[in-house]
Amino acid sequence: MRPDGTDRRSFPSTHAATSFAAAASLQNRYGWKIGLPAQLVAAFVGVARVKARKHHWGDAAAGMVIGEASGFLMTSRRDNGVRIVPWAETAGGGIALDLRF
C-alpha cells in the first residue's frame, strides 16, 4: 500500500528504478564526471517520491538497487578508438572495422 493510501502498487519505486538506471548507464559509459551529477538527480527523484508520500523508503531503495544493477549490467564503457559498424546493401553486407590511433 502506498503511504497516501491510493493503491497497492508501491513496491518497488519505478521512478527511482528508471532514474538510477539512467544514472548508472551514464556513469558506466562516460565516467564519474557525468555519472556523479546523474546519480545526485536520481537520488533526488527517490527522496522526492518518499516526501510526496507515493513510496516508503524501502520502495525507493529497492528501485535504486534494481536501477543501478540494470544500468551497470546493460552498458559498457565508451571507446572512441575502435568502432565496429554493420552494413548492408542489396548485393550483400558485412562489418566495417574502424581503428583510430
Question: For 39-67, how does the pLDDT look when each residue is reduced to its tens digit (9 = 90+)?
Answer: 999 999 999 989 988 898 989 999 999 99
39 lies in some domain: yes
Residue 47 domain boundaries: 14-99
Which band of pLDDT confidence, cut at 50, 70 and 90, is reported for residue 80?
low
Query: For the whole prediction, is pTM greater than 0.75?
Result: no
Spatial distance between the Cα atoms of 101 and 99, rounded to a whole number of angstroms: 7
Distance of CA 41 to the CA centre of its chain: 12
81 lies in some domain: yes
Share of the chain above pLDDT 90, in %: 31
Residue 8 phi/psi, 5° resolution?
-110, 30
Pick from 51, 44, 52, 58: nearest CA to 13: 58
User: How many domains in the chain?
Assistant: 1
